[in-house]
Chain A
Amino acid sequence: MKTSLGTIRSGLGTDTSSLIALLIVVVLGFSIASPQFMTAANLGSMGFQMPLLGLLTLAMLAPIISGGFNLAVTYTANMSGLTLAWVLLQFGGKDAGVGALVLGCLAAIAVGMLAGAIIGFVVAYVGAHPILVSLAMMIFLRGLGEFLTRGGDISGVPDYMRVLGHETLIGIPVPLLLFGAVAIVWHILLRRTQHGFSVTMTGSNQMAAEYSGLHTKRTLVLLYTLSGLLCAIAGILMLARFNSVRVGHGEALLLVTVLACFLGGVDPFGGYGRVVPVVVSLVILQILSSGLNLIGANQHMATAVWGLFLIAVMVLRSEQVKMVLGFFKKS
């Protein structure tokens, strides 16, 4: 019993309890401020909105734990979505069959993984900084995408794709189920596999990890490839939600994914990060945004509040504040 509790605790990470406290505060706050907050309609709409950001955040998480970044997450997702839309168009757009969808998804995933693998390969074997490499990939994908689409929308997807983007299953939005499943797999991958262990160790000190016999270069290639895979899933979801693809969709989410990771206690210098607190942070950010919307605040206000919120969390986590709080606790 004691060990299983310990396992749960280590899975949650040290920052989770404070995040859950924050979560309770914002939930209570908005419940009091707005009677619509706790309604099925609002919770449902949050459940449809969050998964896209969530998937992209998880795609950002592993590179950050490894001491890097993947700035190409949104455009990789766009490019994967574009691939799927293109395949569907070849098979008749709105009339495309399920076979075409499967083929298109596989192609989309291949494109996403390829983009990630290229980043990983250059980071690992050329030794260039991940920020530069992924920035280059981001700009390349944006330019390529705009060239291929001439800056316009690609639309026309079969009706059954609505299921993925707009339906619920046993009362839970399908995108949320998808995100939940991915998050669980991601948690296990990062915490309980040799690959996840190597990612953390590589992020902590690549030379020492290499000296210990870990294949750090292969680890980097694999983790960026898997990051690309998650981007592809996000791209497919984006197409299902918006019924169209446009290069630049979701561009604003890029920095929010970084925000969510840091809010979730991920070490910006690599070597530490957990899925669970990051997911809790995502929920908090979504509640802040939806809640402010409900009480009539401007959409832009929500963004400003996110920024302030992150600063507040950083201050609360600083050693000095912890010391002061500890002092009050004692006396």
Chain B
Amino acid sequence: MTDANTERFALRLKGISKTFGGLQALDDVDFEVRAGEVHCLAGENGSGKSTLIKIITGVYQPQKAELFELFGEAVRSISPTGARNRGVSVIWQDLALFSHMSVRENICFDDMVGLTPKGVHYGEMDRKARAVLERLGVPLELDIPLEALSIARRQIVAIARALMNDARLIFMDEPTASLSRSETDHLLDIVRKLSADGVAVVFVSHRLAEVLEIASRVTVLRDGRLVGVYDCADMTQVRLGELMTGQLIENKVVARDRVDAPKVMEVRGLSRAGEFENVSFDLHAGEVLGLIGLIGAGRTELAHVLMGMRAPTAGDMRVEGRPFRPSSIRDAIRQGLAYVSEDRLSLGLLQKQPIEDNTVISVLHKLLTRLPLLSMRKRDALVRSWVDKLGVKIGRPSDLISTLSGGNQQKIVLAKWLATEPKLLILDSPTVGVDIGARAGIFRIVRSLADSGLAILLISDEATEVMFNSDRILHMAEGQIVAEYDPRKMTVPELEERVYA
């Protein structure tokens, strides 16, 4: 037991070390969470955040632990079930729910399973599920299948499930990665409510702004070591980014006037019924045009029409002055467009395939010999040249793409599209799941591409991203372009105010 006059801790760890094979995943790390505190665990991919959580929840055993206390009790060794019984829950990014089962069954899941068959009391389940949802202040219908809910709602279900197990320490892994701004706000409200109830919440997040908004303290890890524990009140985004990456991430407006350069694309009155309306803009050679808007504003739908995946219901498009009406993605690619999808995991890359095949997939015709067979020599040369040009860190080109970090995967996506020698590159939320350090690398590439004359449409819902990387900014809301901004005459808070308000 801890002294009566020290603060109560949900969790105290000292001197935790863990190696995998020869790799030191955690090296002498300390980590403390106070009871009822909202704490942030920050660090880039590979910094040891997940390993630390897995040790706390009994998935891994540490090689060395000087101190391991949960709610004031020493822990000798812990299993995943043991951790749950002690009140520790993790909500992983994929939520680990059952999409075909009802909300009720998902919330009460742990009551329903077991090796010994005991009766399932639906009335009892109803009562408990209702009570826990009431506690969260979110009335959800219990009968509908989980898959009918939005991601944000599913997250509520995951939190409810954790509370059913009397969780007093909840880890949330990237909980806001696929939420819109208002959904994020709602989630943060719930987190505050939990905290007020005495439930400690540990946030694992890439998004620094919301981390600083919600957490009282932040623990920063880098390369498996503890960098430090800081009060969020005295922390800035820039400083936190620096602590996480070990390098100063400069954020400065780089906008230049490109409106005199030749127009690569002209869009006039473009509409698609029910998705967006009367969208008009010009995009010039060498220009990065930011398109900011919330999820659901019609950004991605617009990109899909530009790429020929869906037909517009009205309006005109021109590419280099010629009428442009792509009949398919292939047609759009042939006419010089390229599209980095927002969904890298399932649409941007083929996760089960090697790096090399992912790189050349859109330019197979360039690999043909006279026979016409694919030349492996040409493939290897092409892959090598792009990997070098973009500075992608890979093992062997024949390794699976899934072995790469998010940032390096995204560079391969860029390589794949740049190999098609496009005139216009559409980047749809290009830094989802990409570390801050790697983001800077990707935007350096984007900037140099623009300098070489490529026209770039940068779609994002992050104000900082658009602000510091675009030459002009279009603001899209509810399917319409509502304003155009000059990043040089604007600040990030002003932009956030207009977009998120």
Contact = CB atoms under 8 A, between A and B. Distances in A.
Interface of A: 3, 7, 10, 188, 192-194, 197-198, 200-201, 204-205, 207-215, 267, 271-272
Contacts of A272: 352
B462 interface: no
Closest 9 interchain pairs by CB? Answer: A192-B373, A212-B361, A204-B350, A213-B333, A194-B364, A213-B362, A204-B352, A271-B352, A211-B347
B357 A194 contact: no
A53 to B, nearest CB: 28
B127 to A, nearest CB: 41
Nearest to A197: B364
A interface SS class:
helix
Interface in B320-365: 329-330, 333, 339, 341, 346-353, 357, 361-362, 364-365
A66 to B, nearest CB: 13
Contacts of A205: 346, 350-352
Given A211-B329, A215-B330, A193 B374 contact: yes
B192 interface: no
A201 B357 CA distance: 9
B372 interface: yes
Contacts of B352: 204-205, 267, 271-272
Contact of B353 (A193, A201, A213): A201
Most buried by B among A198, A204, A208, A214: A208
A327 to B, nearest CB: 12
B374 A211 contact: no
A237 B175 CA distance: 60
Interface of B: 329-330, 333, 339, 341, 346-353, 357, 361-362, 364-365, 368, 372-374, 376-377, 380, 398, 416, 420
Contacts of A201: 350, 353, 357, 361
Given A193-B373, A201-B361, 20 more contacts: A3-B377, A192-B373, A193-B372, A194-B364, A194-B365, A194-B368, A194-B374, A198-B364, A201-B350, A205-B346, A205-B350, A205-B351, A207-B346, A209-B350, A211-B329, A211-B348, A212-B416, A271-B352, A271-B353, A272-B352
7 contacts: A194-B368, A194-B374, A198-B364, A200-B353, A208-B346, A208-B348, A210-B329
Given A192-B374, A201-B353, A214 B361 contact: yes
A28 to B, nearest CB: 33
Most buried by B among A188, A210, A213: A213
A213 B335 CA distance: 12
Most buried by B among A188, A194, A271: A194
A205 B339 CA distance: 17
B398 to A, nearest CB: 7
A229 to B, nearest CB: 19
B170 to A, nearest CB: 31
Nearest to B332: A213
Nearest to B373: A192
Contacts of B416: 212
B62 to A, nearest CB: 21
Contact of A188 (B347, B351, B373): B373
Contact of A213 (B330, B348, B350, B377): B330
A78 B373 CA distance: 33
Nearest to A189: B373
Most buried by A among B333, B348, B372, B373: B373
A208 B350 contact: yes
A8 to B, nearest CB: 11
Contacts of B420: 213
B372 to A, nearest CB: 7
Contacts of B329: 210-211, 213
A78 to B, nearest CB: 34
A208 B347 contact: yes
Nearest to B360: A197
Contacts of B398: 10
A91 B372 CA distance: 40
A207 B347 contact: yes
Contacts of B350: 201, 204-205, 208-209, 212, 271
B404 to A, nearest CB: 16
B423 to A, nearest CB: 15
A7 B350 CA distance: 22
A174 to B, nearest CB: 28
Most buried by A among B346, B349, B352: B352
A175 B332 CA distance: 47
Contacts of B330: 213, 215
A211 B368 contact: no
A303 B302 CA distance: 57
B362 A7 contact: no
Nearest to A196: B374
Contacts of B347: 207-208, 211
Contacts of A188: 373
A10 B341 CA distance: 30
B346 A204 contact: no
Most buried by A among B346, B350, B357: B350
Nearest to B368: A194
B341 A211 contact: yes
A10 B353 CA distance: 13
Contacts of B346: 205, 207-208
Nearest to B379: A197
A197 B351 contact: no
Nearest to A6: B398
A192 B367 CA distance: 10
A200 B420 CA distance: 21
A193 B350 CA distance: 19
A209 B361 contact: yes
Contacts of B374: 192-194, 197
A205 B368 CA distance: 23
A194 B374 CA distance: 7
A210 B348 CA distance: 10
A212 B362 contact: yes
